[in-house]
Every structure is written in structure tokens, then in C-alpha cells.
Structure 1
Amino acid sequence: MKKLLLLSFILGIFFNAHAQFPTGGLGGAAKKSTVTGRITATILDSLTKKPVDYATVSLINVKNNKSVNGGVTDEKGKLTLQNVSPDSYKLMIGFMGYKTKSVLVTTTPSKPDNNMGTIYIVGTENILADVQVQGTKAIIENKVDRMVYNAEADGTNAGGDATDVMRKVPMLSVDANGDVQLRGAAVRVLINGKPSGTMAASVSDALKMIPAEQIKSVEVITSPSAKYDAEGSGGIINIITKKSNAQGVSGSVNASAGTRQNNGAFNLTAKTGRLSVNTSLGSNFAYAQDSRVVIVNNTQLNAGGFNNISQDGISRWSRNGLNGSLGLDYDFNAYNNISTNVKLNRFSNGGPGSANYIINNLPATNISNMDMTRSNLDWNVDYKKTSKKEGEEFTISGQLSTGRTPTSFSNLLTSAAFPNGVLTASDNTAKNNEYTGQTDYTYPFTKTTILEVGAKGIFRNVKSQYGSSDRDFDYNQDVAAAYGVISFDITKKIKFKGGVRAEYTKIDFNTLTNGTEKNDYFNLFPSFIVSQTLKKGGTVKFSYNRRVQRPSENYLNPFRNESDQFNIQQGNPQLSPELSQNFELGYSTFVKGSVINASVFYRRTGGVIESSISPITENNITKVLSSFINVGTAQTYGVNLFGSYNPKPKWTLMSNISANTYEVTNNATNISTGTFLNYSIFGRSAYGFGKGYNFELFGVATSARRTYQGKTDPFYFYGASIKKDILNKKGSIGINTLNPFTKDLHIKTENNSINPLGTVYQSSNIYYPLRSFGVNFSYSFGKLKFTEKKKIKNDDVKQDQQQGGMGGIQQQQQ
């Protein structure tokens, strides 16, 4: 009841605030509405009265004589131009063998749609040059607070998935498992500005479920304004998907099959008048393959005693998933819109395994099995109101997210002392419910001076049920937030955007030893960006922001996962959030079609959360417990360099280099790790041979990755693909390969721990079968014009980058 009252109070404040602003806003002069409409027409031959298909049409603004839109007619001579702002235009219609015709057309905010009916064009014996109406969008765009990669403008993305797209995005690094980092730090991934239960469960799995053809663009927000939730020391990645805004029915089909995984996706949009319905279905199936893991644990207890446990085993891990969504969008009129969307996702991971052990010089064998299923539902409802004043907008959004993660495992350990075997088994069901209400208001005083204010409430509950026992974990986290952002031009070339966000967090949870515990805290998160436009299209900017990362379910759940009974995993509900301060200086320029983006940054993070190992003794055997702790304070210096160059019009070379230091000082001992260098390098070459053929090569290499207790050795992987446009460029077919000359990806990790109980040395060698070959097919039907709508965003929780599996062998199979 208290949550409902608090949510009602937050929304009530902004309903009342919005009521103070009459339509048009503070008496300002009415300007063009941001609501857009469409222009339709049918083009016929004046003599034969037959449709003129593939006639090119350009929409010219009468005031400045610039082309703002355009398209081609279909086989019935019909034309639809979407997203047309209210204004006065002229249609320029041209086709080979016809005289160019100009027709005046006007749309208004109260009547944004205009059906021009039938337009006749006259033939001529002279051949007319085609009217060019469609420009080429740049693959990389640099904006004041983000870098944008326009995936739809990159023809080599067909047949891949979101993981393949991410590897081409500036400043991002993607490892062999598909986990994404931004400048060496964890990053929050949103879809259309919203959090996703699928992303919260496993980022790498969720990215594999999104076909590349569905992605319109990827925004890399290194300096989020106060409007965003304050989570993410590295920043925010926002994946914007394609949505059809065409009248009638349109959609796409994508499928891929290969030696490692198979994907399928179907998308359909139906629109009539002001009602639009979007639906999608997707699936992912990965073949079960043997992965080898070799782990050695050496422990020396301070109370006396030495233990040595080594294992050499095989895990046959499989992964499959299903997802679906249904969305409705309706415009009541030119100024009021409501939309809703429901997304369902289900992932299943698991499989059998076997291992040979040497426990203090005594042999043993173990047969294991593990199953983990994640089911998530996200339901959003959004209302948006605009006015005649261009840029003024008021929104209210609500979101329900719920997830279930049942996990079970069993181990049968056999040795000379236990010839019949010792069976251990357990199960756990984690439940995550989240309710969110948000309201935002944007008011433009002028075209360049804009005020944004908003409030938000998030109410989370995480429960972990341990089989049939009464040892349940109950964790509640409520967040109330409000923000204000102002942006304006200091001069014609210098822009400023800054603000502050206030967040109050209320936490209570139960533990087995101390009963109910509480942890409430209040934080202010200021941020600002100053950018200056230089000569010849260059831009330089400086930014500062303060960020937070709260631990999510996987970090908090105290359930002991003993799928590897000698390497146990457990969450820590007493974790504190990370707090970071970020400074960035960046430069970007476009030179004759080439893109250069360079930046340097400094980040100071307190309460850094990392995995930690420690010894525990059970049944006279010392095992290794892996959990999470706040290890200390980190200072990070980094640089990022991205470049794209076209030696020839159809040949693109692209490279991204990221490097940052790693240095953490423990607050309790004042001991520092020392300073190390982490880096990653991505290189890509894409070439279009003509006739619809495109070929691509890419490679990724990383340095050793440091943590407070150890390091992971460097690794690399590479791939290639070729695709051919078919069916009048509505479809494509291609083949791809990953690590064709290397069967396994070897990942070696070493950790050393010294604590009051003793010392632990752990060495882990994973041989992950990465080599793969596959074929892909995609096909789009209907007229696809894409738009996006603002959605609610929850991006305040730190996500585990390897959440797909828990413990020993299973953790590495993601």
C-alpha cells in the first residue's frame, strides 16, 4: 500500500505541474508540432491511365527549397511518405521517359495526413535523369552526449546477430562469450531505451537472440545526462530496433543454421489509420558440445593443514531460448499517443558432466548434472502528450517486470572410501518482481534552450526459495528519483548540457544469522557536457558525471550453488553499491568520408565489486568458496581510438582500440594491486564486389585482464562472412565462420587469496569449442519505414557479465 501511495504521489506532482503549463507552453509563440503525418498519392500515366511503378518522388520544403523526404511508387503506382512534419511542400515526381512534375502539398498539426489522390504524369520521348531523393546515412554519427552506430546503413550486418553488430560499435569490446564492456567497465544495455528481463538474466544470451537485421542503430552513451538512471560506471548502450510505420502489412524473416547454434526470428507489423500492431517471435538453439575444464586448488589453512584438489572434466552444455512480443500503438489525435508492449523470454541452460579428481593424492570420480531456466515478462504502458509548441512533451510510463529462475544440480562422487558414491543435490528458485512508474516533461524555451524534469519510482523484490526448506531469502529495494536538466548554446559553436539527479534508496533484507537488516542511502548525481564545433566538421567535448552501480540478483542471492561441489558459488546480500566519478575529453572529425574519434578519460570508483575466493572446510575437505565483495577503491586512466577509412568506395577499413589502467587499493589494508594495462583491439575489413556481394573479415584480440586477486590470460578470435543480396534486395543469403583454423578457445585464469582463514591458489583452464560454420537467410516484405518512441528506462542495477551459469565448469559454458 505504501508503494502505491508513493507512486501516486510522484505521478500526482507531475500531473499538477503539467497542468500549470497551457498548451503552447508559457505563452510562447506556437511553433511547428513534433507530431508527424503522412502524404499518400497514386501516380498514373496520363495517356494509358496505368500505374507508374518505381517512379521517384522527392518532398521539397517550400521555405528553403531543401529535400526532406522521398520514396518510390510500388507496382500499383502508390506512394506513402511517412514522418512528415506539418508544413508547406512540393512533390517532385520523376521517372525515365516522363516529364518531371511538381505538385504543392500542405499538412497541418490538426490534419497531419494528406491524401493527394491520383496524380498524372506526362510521357516524353526524351530520357529524363532520375530524381535522387534518398541520401546515404553515415554509419557513424557523433552527437553531443553519445556516439551512434547506424547498423541499418551497414550492409555487412545481414545474417548475424546483435553480438556481431556490437563488435563494430566504437568504444565497445566483446569477448568470446558475447559479454560487452565499455572502456573496461560494466555497462548497462537497454533496448529502445528500456531495461529487459532477458538482458538482466544474461546479456550474452539476449544479444544472440536479436537478429542483426532488426537493429536500426546502437547508441553508446559515455556521459549520460541526469535524465538517465545513474547506473553504469562505464556508461549505457541503447539498442534501437526497427519498427515499421507503413500502412498495411510488413515484416521480416531471419534464419541461420550452423555447427554451434541456430537462430530464427519472425517480425510482423500491421498498421491501419492511427493504430499499429507489432509482433515478433524468435528462437535460439545451441548444439551441446564438450568443453574441457582443468582446475587446481591449493589451500593452506592458518589453523594448520594443506589441501590439494585437482580436476579434469568434460561438460556437455546446451542452451536454447524462445522469445516473443506484442505491441500496440495508437494516436488519438496529433497530440496524444498511447502504446503498450508485452515481451516474454525463456532461456534454458544445462547439461551433464563428468570429472576425474585427485583429492590429497586420492583419486575420485564425479558425475554431475545441472539445469537452469530463466523466464521473464516485461509489460510497458506509455502515454505521450505533445503540443503546438515544437519540442514540448509530457509523458507518463509504467512498467512491470517479473522473472523466475529455477536452478537444480546433482553430484555423485565415487572414491575408494565411498565405493557406492555420495550423492549431493539441491535446487533453488529465484523470483524477481519489479514495478516502475515514471513521468517526464520537456519544455523548449527556445530552439536551443531546453529544460527537462522528471520523477521516477522503482520497487523491487527478490526472493530466493531453497527447495522445500524454510530458508528463504527476501530482499526489497525501493528507489525514488527526481532530476532536472538544462541545455543551451553558450555561443554558436559551444553547447552546454547539464543537470543533477537525486536518488533515495531504501533496502531491507533478511539473513540467516542477523535477521532483518536495513541499508538506506541518499545520493546526488551531477553531470554536464560542454562541446565545441571546430572547423571542417570536427568536435571536441569535455564531460563529467557521477554514477552508481547497485548489485543485482546474481550478486545478492546467498543460495550456495554446488554444481561443482569443490568450487562453490554464493551471492552476498551485504554488498554496498559502487560509486564512481568520471571525466572525459573527446575529439571527433569526419575527413572525406573517414571517421576519427579519440577520447581520454579518468574514472575513480569507490566500493568496487569483484569476485573473491576463500577457503571453507566441510567433512574434513577444504573447498573454495567464490562470492562477491567490495574490494576497495579503483583509479582508472584510459584512452579510446576509433577510425573508419574507405580506400575505395566499396571498401571499408575499421578499427577500434581501447586501453585502460587497472589499479585497486583495499580500504581495510591500504594494499594496492599496482598498476596494470588492459587493452582490446578490433579490426575489420568489408568489401562490396557489386551485384549484391559483400565480404567481411574481422578479428578481436585482448590483453590479460586483471582483478584484485588474479588475472585472466589474453585471447583472440577471428571470423569471416560473405553474403549475397537476392529477391530484388529484399532478401540475402550468406555463409559465415568463426575461428575456422582453431578448434578451442583456451581461457586461463589464476587467482590468489590471502585472508584470516588461510591462503588459496586456484588455476582454471577452460577449453571452449568456438570454431563454427553457418549459413544465414533473411527476407523483408512490405514497405519498411522505421520510427521509435520514448520508453521508460531502468538502468540502475549492476549486472553480472557471466550470469548464464554458476559454478566451475557450468559458468564457462555461456
Structure 2
Amino acid sequence: MRKLLPLFLLLTISLSITAQRPSPDQGQRPPIKITGTVLDQDNNLPLEYATLVLQSVQNPNIVTGGITNEDGKFDVEAKPGRYNIRIEYISYKTYTLNDQLLSSSTDLGTVKLALDVEQLEAVEVVGEKTTVEVRLDKKVYNVGKDLTTSGGTVNDALNNIPSVNVDIEGAISLRGNENVRILINGKPSALAGFGSTDVFKQLPADAIEKVEVITSPSARYDAEGTAGILNIVLKKEKTLGINGSINANIADPFRYQVSTNFNLRTDKFNLFNTLGYFHRESPGNAFFDNTYTSGDFDRIYEDRDISRNDTGFNVNLGLEYFLSEKSSLTGSVFARFSDEQDINENATQRFIGSTIDSRTFRSEDQNEDDSNYQFSMNYTNNFNDDGHKLTADVQYSFDDEDVLTEIIENNTFPNNELLASERIYEIETQNNYLAQADYVLPMGDSQFEAGYRGTFREELNDYQLDTLNQGSGQYITNTDLTNKFTYTQNVNAFYSQYGNKYGKFSFLLGLRLENTQLKGELESDVNAETLSEQLGIDVDVNFDKNYLGLFPTLNLIFEIQENENISLGYNRRINRPRGWFINPFPSRASRTNVFQGNPDLDPAYANAYDLGYLRRWKKLTLTSSIYYQKETNAFERVQEETGETTSDGIRIIRSLPINLSTNERVGAEAGILYNPVKWLRVNSSFNFFKFTTEGVFNNVDYGAENTSWFSRFSTKVSLPWKIDWQNNAFYMGPRENAQTKTKGMFSLNTAMSKDIFKDRATISFNISDVFNSRKRMSYTETEFFTSESEFQWRPREFRLSFIYRFNQPKERRRGGERNGGGDDDGEGFEG
């Protein structure tokens, strides 16, 4: 039951720091100190994290206070004056002293608190509701208690969130749909890579406070992302004083990571800082078994080994300054640097009939220097305690990626000879600007909101391919592929929404107006006619397109009873093409496989509907929903022949994104959270979906139907001696599109942790992918070739983690001796 203590403490302390300016009766006299000790009445043990609340009698809006340390002692500064004094501890009776004159430093002595039996039962029920909250337009998941992500990355944490899946290459999907919008603290951010999720493989999972899964976004959110929105909220400590933590882990295959967070909070400012450093040597592997209906070879078998040697550092520094009791100004700077070296070795066997004709060996050595910078400023004014609020944000981000890739391919049988040697130089820069203002006006049971958001992005991709001329021994620039492409995306949006509650019925109705400008500018020796001929469509490589759209949203909840409700959501969404989907020049994954963007791509639009049902019992919570989505102009990547061959007779295959006519998706999901006893927690979710795609491109019908599903099952057991044991199992069902079928995939993670040093530290041991089964196995079939493949991004990993906290409450508080060492650390839902 005491596991909810940090949650209530953070809420109490966040309220206690809202008003620190002196009242008229306090004047400008120097502060005094209030000291004392808080003990358990029955066993005289100190109560750590008990809360001292000092509320001004003259002005009740002025509240200050603090919390006790491990010895149950508090030492708090306050202005002289008259106060109502309260000492509170979850599940204990509150100690109260009203109208006390504190004119000099005062020692309140030893205060003994007694258990509140009536509150005790209520708290045990609430104790099952600390991990998930269900709100009108989203579900909020607190991931801080997941042992299997301790020492892991943001990707590891996201992969344990219901409805969310992160595949073996790091692609994030929501309900099986990869077109999901990723936000950090409610805004697009350099931490999320502005579309790329590679950074999530580097940032520690412990940096996350909660994840908001928004499948029916209200009008305050971007209309981008036809699947919905994932908002990752990072930690920012609210406790007064100095506090923080140090987290270190080491893993096999070799990887280590160290991260720290530091927080200094006073009644006038809050200084927060996080640092992180990692080094990773991560292997991977893949094979491709390709057969061809035409060309010089009937079959080509590729065996790939992948080696990654990556090092990175990130820092975030911010200061929140309290301008008044109700307003604050926050500035922050974020920087991330990484040096990555990936070596991909590909051994190939080429057959004519069943006889090996030749063998080749290809080495691709990629070195990437990546740096991100972000500067943010936020102004917040809480006009009153009822939610009347104005916020304004400005943000600038810069991303620079400098990549050199050296490719050498040799024939190793029947003779040794150099087939090709290439050097690829890529420089990609992004400039991103954001301006945002949001206004909230409560009106009794109703609430009105309005706001503006402008996002302005410019991407420059400078690509150069040099090929070795074996006759001269010199590298010659391939002018047919070398290019500079600038892609600009500007979005201006205005929104308004209104919510109200009538008895058991609540609604939130909103409308968002967005104007999108997409611009492309190409510098190349290749003209538009040649590119149009390659793509098979007429394209304008220097384009300037404008799209104006209205995006209505509606969210309804009917409360059948206190623990049961039905929800209904509707929203219209947009999917804008990314820069690399637009760039018309091919980039090489190999000599035989290229990806080519399509500048003729238009945004896709979707209408989404969601019907949900929630029911809570004493020890069990059920959430469920059925959903439907219809997307027009949906993106689809298709593979086709280019009509070209390599110098040694292999047909070159191109992957191309196109607008298909429609994509319909219907599905259902259910989740169960069950706490049969205090020492056991069970969490299970299941998602089933079917999608239908229709569309024709270059006289080929790419229509397809597919039914798939994925499921999670998690158990957490609290053992004696403060040891926790958790298992997370995941299964992704088989799926397919017009050309590719992918087999089902199962993985299991397990972890054990123990609190040490009087709960100031935790040590944990994790095994990720226990059976080494997290592999993608696919079969692709077209009219000109078939391919059977297997890909493993990362093999089974063993990880040892250690976290030490100073002056910082744990994510949870144990039941202690009174409950026999049991852990009432249950999960549940809050509406």
C-alpha cells in the first residue's frame, strides 16, 4: 500500500512550490528553519518521505514544505508568519497543528503517526492504479517500474507498451501501422530525430516518466500520423532541494552505458540536467535466398554479417524560473553526438541451375558522424488553480549527419578479381523551427481551448557516388547519381476545441485547420525527363505544393457506473511524405538493390474511428476497443525491375514508394491487468487487425488483404528479501502485403532486481530475447524473382544494471515489516 507514496509526494510537493512570495504579514524578514522527526507510532521506525505542509493562515494560497529523509527528519526553511501545519504520510492519520505563530526557528520535536485503518483499505485499491490512466483522448502508461527495460533503451521501453510494437530494425508501429507520430514532451523534437527513430536505440529507458498512447488525438495535437500519436514524456524531478540518480549498465554482446540526472529545486528556480554516454559493439546477421525467372543467374544466395561499433554522448540542461506564484519561464539546451561505424559483410553464391557458377564477397564499411542540437524556451502562466492557463513555446533544432561509405566487392571463385569499388559521400542537414501557443479556459464543468502551431523544416541531402576506374586506378564521380536535393516542409495550424460533462456523459469536440507547403529543389546533371523515364511517371523535381485541410475530432465517454465506461472517438489524419521518400535519386543498399524516392508523392489522408470499453473490478481491469480506419492515397513501397544489370550480369531491382488508392484497416484489441495477490501482477494484451490495400502502378495490381495479430503477456513476482522477478513475452503473428509474407515471431525477456543500500540503489540482471528468436523471416514473390530471407538486428543479450539515487524517492515504496516484506506494486487504470 505504501508503493503509491512517491506519486502522492510528487503531487504534494509540486503543489507546495507554487507560491513562495511573501504575504503582507511576512514582510521581508529572513527565513526561519522548521525541524522535526516523524516516526511510526507502533514500532518507532522512521518514516522516510513523510510530507511537512506549511499553509499560510493569512493567505491559504501560499504553501511550502518538504519531505523527511531516511531517518525521518525534516529541515525546512520558511518565512516567519502564522501557519496551519500538517504532517502527512500515505495510509497514516494526518498530524495537524492549526494557526501556529512561527516567528523564529522551531523544532516540532518527534511526531508519531498512527495507521489509518479506513484509509488503509482504500489505498490498497488505489495501489492497483499507479501505472496506467485512461483519459478522454489517450491512455497514459508509466513505464518506470518495468524491470525488463532497466538499463535498456527507449526502444526497449516502447516495446512493452500495449498497442505499440518496435520491430527488429527499430521501426515503431501503433496497432500494426507504422505511420505513427512521435512527440517528446508534447512537441516534435531532435530527441526523436524528426522522423528517424535511431536515437531511441541510444537514449536510456530510465529517462522516460510516461508514454501517452493517443489513438484518437484531439484537435490540440498535430494531424500528422494516420495511426495516431506516441508522446514520450521525460522525467523532470519536482522535489525541493538537490536530488538525482546515476545509472550504469554493461551487457554481452559488449555494450555499456552510463547516464546521470541531476536536479536542484528551490522556491525560485528548478535546474535540471541529464548526461548520457554509451558504447555498443552489436552484431547482427541476415541471409537472402533469391531465385530469378530471367537473367544470367537462376539463384543467388547471400549470407550477411553485420558489426556495429558505435559511441555516443548526449546532454540536456534546463532551467525553470518561477516568475511569480503562477507563472514560469523554462529554457533548455539539448545536444547529442555519435560516432558510428557499421561493417556489413556479404558472402554471395551464384548458381546456374543447381551448380555454383561463382562466389563473391562484398564489404560495406560505413562511418557516420552525427550531431543534434536543440534550443527550447517555454512560458507558462497558470492564471488560477482551476486550469485557466496560457503556454507559449519556441524551439530551434539542427541536425547534421556526415556519412562515408566504402564498398568493395570481389569475385572469390572461380578466380580472384575486383568487381567494384565505390565510395559514397552523404551529408544530410536539417533545420527545424517551431512556434506554439496554447490557451485553456475552464468554464465550470466545461472547458475551451485554442492555439496555434507552426513547424518549419528544411532538409538538405548532398549525395555523391565515386566509382573506381580499374584501368586508371582513379575514382570517378558518377554524375548520373550525384545530386543535391533540398526538401522544405512548412505547416501552419490553428485549432479550437470545447469539452463538457453532463452527468455521466462527457465529450470533447475540436477542429484543426492546417496548411501544408511542400517544396523540392534539385541540383543535378540529370534532367527531369531522364528521371521521369526511370520512374515510369511524369515528375516535377522542382516543385512547390500547397495543401489546406480541415481535421475534425470528436471524443465521447459515457460512464455506465464508477468503474465502467464506453468511449467513442473520431478523427481525420494526414500522412506527409518524408524527404527520403521524395528524393528522386536512387541510393544503394547494394549494387543490385536500390531505393528511389518519388517526388510525385502526395500526402495521404485517413478517417479513423475507435469504440472502447473499460471495466474495473477489485483486482482486475479490462480495457478493449474496436477500430476502423480508411486511408486514401496510402503510401506503399513496391519492388520492380529497372531494366538494368550489373557488369557481371545481375538484374538491378528498385524499391519505390507510391500513392495507392486506398488502405482499409479494421481491428480489435483487449488488455487485462490482474492482481490476484499482493506478490503477483499479470499484464496481458492482444491486438487483432485486418487491412486491405487496393492500387495499380505501371500496370501491376498491388492489391492485397492480410489478417495479423500480436500479443503480450507479462508477469511480475515480488519475492522475499526485496527481490522482484519479471517476465515479458511477445508474439507477432504472420503478416503479408502485395509482395511479401512475413512469418510469426516470438520473443521472451526476463529480469530480476534487488534493492540495496536501504533502498537507495537497485541492481538488476536482464536477459533480452531469452530464446534468441527475435528474427524476421520473410518471403517475397514478384513476376521476375522470389526471395526468402531472415534478418536478426540484435542477438540475445545479457545485461547487468545498477542505479543509485540520492535524495530522490524511489519509483515505488515497499510495504515494509508491517506487510511482511510483500510488494503491493500493482498496475491498474485511472479514468
TM-score clears 0.5: yes
Tell me by how many angstroms 1:577 deviates.
1.6
Residue aligning to 1:346: 337
Q: Which of residues 804, 815, 818 in structure 2 aligns to 1:779?
A: 804
Q: Which of residues 165, 169, 172 in structure 1 aligns to 2:164?
A: 172
Judge conservation of contact 1:90–1:102 (CA < 8 Å) in 2: yes
User: Does 763-772 or 280-289 show the bigger shift?
Assistant: 763-772
Judge conservation of contact 2:20–2:325 (CA < 8 Å) in 1: no
Name the CA distance, whole Å, in 2 between partners of 1:119 and 1:155.
41
Name the CA distance, whole Å, in 2 between partners of 1:79 and 1:188.
45
Judge conservation of contact 1:613–1:760 (CA < 8 Å) in 2: no
Judge conservation of contact 2:712–2:730 (CA < 8 Å) in 1: yes
SS of 2:661's partner is strand
Tell me by how many angstroms 1:358 deviates.
4.0
SS of 2:192's partner is helix
Name the CA distance, whole Å, in 1 between partners of 2:570 and 2:94.
53
Deviations 1:658-713 (A, max 9, x none): 11102101066695634321111111111001332000111111112322321222
Tell me by how many angstroms 1:262 deviates.
2.3
Q: Which of residues 544, 548, 553 in structure 1 aligns to 2:570?
A: 544
Amino acid of the structure 1 residue aligned with 2:264: A
Q: 1:666 to 1:583 in 2, by over 3 A?
A: same
Q: 1:775 to 1:710 in 2, by over 3 A?
A: same
Matched, 1:450 2:450: no
Tell me by how many angstroms 1:152 deviates.
3.7
Deviations 1:287-322 (A, max 9, x none): 242524234252548xxx887543233232333332
Tell me by how many angstroms 1:420 deviates.
3.9
Residue aligning to 2:757: 727
Amino acid of the structure 1 residue aligned with 2:242: V
SS of 2:417's partner is coil
Amino acid of the structure 1 residue aligned with 2:211: V
1:728-807 map, 5 Å: 728-742=758-772, 745-753=774-782, 759-783=784-808
Residue aligning to 1:316: 307
Tell me by how many angstroms 1:613 deviates.
1.4
Matched, 1:325 2:321: no
Residue aligning to 1:501: 512
Residue aligning to 1:811: none
SS of 2:586's partner is coil
Amino acid of the structure 1 residue aligned with 2:612: G
Tell me by how many angstroms 1:76 deviates.
8.3
1:146-295 map, 5 Å: 146-152=138-144, 158-186=150-178, 187-200=180-193, 205-260=198-253, 261-289=255-283, 291-295=285-289
Deviations 1:698-756 (A, max 9, x none): 111111232232122211111211000111112100111123343x64322222345xx
Name the CA distance, whole Å, in 2 between partners of 1:567 and 1:258.
34
Q: 1:472 to 1:99 in 2, by over 3 A?
A: closer
Tell me by how many angstroms 1:45 deviates.
7.0
Name the CA distance, whole Å, in 2 between partners of 1:209 and 1:105.
53
Judge conservation of contact 1:245–1:784 (CA < 8 Å) in 2: no
User: Does 146-155 or 712-721 show the bigger shift?
Assistant: 146-155
Tell me by how many angstroms 1:476 deviates.
1.4
Tell me by how many angstroms 1:71 deviates.
4.6
SS of 1:170's partner is coil
Tell me by how many angstroms 1:93 deviates.
6.2
**Which ranges in structure 1 are unaligned for 5 or more consecutive residues?**
1-32, 108-113, 787-814
- Calculate the TM-score normalised by the size of structure 2: 0.79
User: Does 208-217 or 544-553 show the bigger shift?
Assistant: 208-217
Q: 1:173 to 1:420 in 2, by over 3 A?
A: closer
Q: 1:772 to 1:177 in 2, by over 3 A?
A: same
Judge conservation of contact 1:368–1:410 (CA < 8 Å) in 2: yes
Judge conservation of contact 1:55–1:93 (CA < 8 Å) in 2: no
Name the CA distance, whole Å, in 1 between partners of 2:148 and 2:541.
56
Name the CA distance, whole Å, in 1 between partners of 2:306 and 2:397.
33
Name the CA distance, whole Å, in 1 between partners of 2:681 and 2:451.
42
Tell me by how many angstroms 1:523 deviates.
0.9
Judge conservation of contact 1:92–1:100 (CA < 8 Å) in 2: yes
Amino acid of the structure 2 residue aligned with 1:436: L
Residue aligning to 1:139: 131
Judge conservation of contact 1:156–1:723 (CA < 8 Å) in 2: no
SS of 2:576's partner is strand
Matched, 1:463 2:493: no
Name the CA distance, whole Å, in 2 between partners of 1:388 and 1:585.
35
1:567-586 map, 5 Å: 567-586=593-612
Q: 1:519 to 1:613 in 2, by over 3 A?
A: same
- Calculate the TM-score normalised by the size of structure 1: 0.81
Tell me by how many angstroms 1:766 deviates.
2.2
Judge conservation of contact 2:86–2:94 (CA < 8 Å) in 1: no
Amino acid of the structure 2 residue aligned with 1:146: K
Q: Which of residues 673, 678, 681 in structure 2 aligns to 1:652?
A: 681
Judge conservation of contact 2:741–2:780 (CA < 8 Å) in 1: yes
Deviations 1:199-253 (A, max 9, x none): 2367654334343333222211111111111011121111222212233321111
Q: 1:411 to 1:388 in 2, by over 3 A?
A: closer
Residue aligning to 1:803: none
Deviations 1:474-525 (A, max 9, x none): 1112111111111111x21100101110111112212451452222111110
Matched, 1:698 2:698: no
Deviations 1:508-555 (A, max 9, x none): 212451452222111110000010112241111001000011122332
Q: 1:767 to 1:216 in 2, by over 3 A?
A: closer
Name the CA distance, whole Å, in 2 between partners of 1:726 and 1:718.
27
Q: Which of residues 400, 405, 411 in structure 1 aligns to 2:407?
A: 411
Name the CA distance, whole Å, in 1 between partners of 2:641 and 2:513.
41
Q: 1:422 to 1:168 in 2, by over 3 A?
A: closer
SS of 2:222's partner is coil
Name the CA distance, whole Å, in 1 between partners of 2:149 and 2:75.
28
Q: 1:52 to 1:712 in 2, by over 3 A?
A: closer
Q: For this pair of structures, how many residues does the alignment match?
A: 725
Q: Please provide the CA RMSD for this pair.
A: 3.8
Judge conservation of contact 2:215–2:228 (CA < 8 Å) in 1: yes
Q: 1:745 to 1:598 in 2, by over 3 A?
A: closer
Amino acid of the structure 2 residue aligned with 1:432: Q
Tell me by how many angstroms 1:349 deviates.
3.8
SS of 2:155's partner is helix
Q: 1:400 to 1:56 in 2, by over 3 A?
A: closer
Q: Which of residues 742, 751, 754 in structure 2 aligns to 1:712?
A: 742
Deviations 1:229-284 (A, max 9, x none): 10111211112222122333211111111113322211111223312211111123
Q: 1:659 to 1:499 in 2, by over 3 A?
A: same
Judge conservation of contact 1:173–1:182 (CA < 8 Å) in 2: yes
Percent sequence identity over aligned pairs:
23
Tell me by how many angstroms 1:578 deviates.
1.8
Amino acid of the structure 2 residue aligned with 1:381: M
Tell me by how many angstroms 1:156 deviates.
6.8
Matched, 1:118 2:112: no
Amino acid of the structure 1 residue aligned with 2:287: V
Q: 1:736 to 1:38 in 2, by over 3 A?
A: farther
Residue aligning to 2:556: 530
SS of 1:708's partner is coil
